[in-house]
Amino acid sequence: MLNWSRLCPMSVYCQSCGEEINEDAEICPECGVRQGTDTGSDSVSGMEGNTLVNTIIGAVVTIVVGFIPVLNLLSPAIGGGLGGYLQKEGAGGGAKVGALVTIAFLIPLAILLVVAGGLIGSLLPAGAGGAGAGAAAGGIGLIAVVIIAIPSFVLSIIGGVVGGAVAGE
């Protein structure tokens, strides 16, 4: 059986000084305070402070909620909020995860639009523009991603700040 904690060690924070330490650390290398072994009820399935996992979860939620007609415009805020909440690092940590959620869901979207543009170009007859039309469609797709990115960043960061602040209480 794979030991994921060895392959992907999570960072946690010292209970005394707040310095980032490895989850397996018994003593903080910065201040020397022994760390408690009790994870407490605050931890949500060990995802507290794991930026990569929380970013991926937030991005997946953003994509899934984007398919719900009433909520699709708020999907970045919802995904960023969930990522920020799971991060449990307050508003600042939530903002960081919120911004990363936007990047994580826009990268596949950009790839999809460029590939779709290439497919459009390959399906057009040679006299109708061919590869040039496909490149143009891919370029239009990238412009659409940039236009989507600006409000998505804002909403994801706001959601992350709110999620982080709620988790910090």
Distances (CA, A) of 126 to 119, 123, 131, 133, 140: 13, 9, 8, 10, 20
Cβ atoms 57, 137 nearer than 8 A: no
What is the residue-wise DSSP string for the chain?
Answer: ---HHHHSPPEEE-TTT--EEETT-SB-TTT-PBPPS--TTT-STT-TT-HHHHHHHHHHHHHHHHTSTTTGGGHHHHHHHHHHHHHTSHHHHHHHHHHHHHHHHHHHHHHHHHHHHHHHHHHS-GGGTHHHHHHHHHHHHHHHHHHHHHHHHHHHHHHHHHHHHHHH-
Tens-binned pLDDT, residue by residue, of the chain (169 aa): 455 455 555 567 887 787 888 877 788 888 887 886 544 444 444 556 788 899 999 999 998 998 888 888 899 999 999 999 999 888 888 999 999 999 998 888 778 877 777 677 667 666 555 556 666 766 777 787 788 888 989 999 999 999 999 987 6
Cβ atoms 158, 77 nearer than 8 A: yes
How big is the chain, counted in residues? 169
Q: Which pLDDT score, from 0 to 100, does residue 44 have?
A: 45
Cβ atoms 57, 82 nearer than 8 A: yes
